[in-house]
Amino acid sequence: MNWLMKDTPPGSNPMGPEDDQKAAWDLFRKAYERQMKGEFDEAVKLYTGSIELYPTAEAYTFRGWTYSFMGRIDEAIEDCHRAITVDPDFGNPYNDIGAYLIEKGQLDDAIEWLERATRAKRYESPAFPHRTWGGCTRKSGIGTRPSTATSTR
């Protein structure tokens, strides 16, 4: 593909934005397949390629999720923050930050993020923040829960 980019200024792309978006989606799908097979290093590379072509909240969130499987929790949290920057209405990264903070033992900080997840306008699984917090309260005996506000898609 380098031959295609020859003689073009840095940062320009002879392909249109729709082509970048489609190529990014193809890389995202391949990354997810690798992630589900436990091939985390390859999944991270593919998610990164997707992000470089066309950054989406989903790609950042899923790359973060992959980092979490690798024990790289701080990087997972950073990617969730990037996802929120791209699309603050996407609820998944809020929940994921809450889950990662719970994993790190930062329960008080996790509450804020799980609350935000319940208010997200676009969320694949709006019940997740409640489940995430429920699992934590069973382990710790803490009673404070995210609000019962529901999000809409």
pLDDT tens for each residue of 93-144:
999 999 999 999 998 899 899 889 888 888 766 656 656 656 565 555 555 5
Query: What per-residue confidence (pLDDT) applies to 75?
Result: 98
Site of tokens 């994993």: 103
Stated as kind and residue range, the H or E segment containing 119 is none
Asked if residue 70 lies in contact with residue 92, where contact means CB atoms within 8 angstroms, the answer is: no
Q: Give the closest residue to 145 by CA, choosing from 123, 115, 116.
A: 115
Angstrom distance (rounded) from CA 43 to CA 70? 11
Helix, strand, or coil (residue 28): helix
Stretch 32-37: mean pLDDT, rounded? 98
**pLDDT averaged over the chain?**
80
Tokens representing 49?
């390629």
Query: What per-residue confidence (pLDDT) applies to 16?
Result: 55
pTM metric for this prediction: 0.76
pLDDT > 90: what percent of the chain? 59
Tokens representing 144?
């404070």
Tokens representing 5?
């980019």
Please indicate whether residue 11 or residue 118 has the higher confidence score (pLDDT). 118
Asked if residue 97 lies in contact with residue 80, where contact means CB atoms within 8 angstroms, the answer is: yes
Query: For residue range 59-69, what is the model confidence (pLDDT) as tens digits?
Result: 999 999 999 99
- Please name every residue paired with 90 in a beta bridge, in sequence order, or none if there are none: 122
pLDDT band at 5 (very low <50, low <70, confident <90, very high): very low
Tokens representing 139?
């382990």
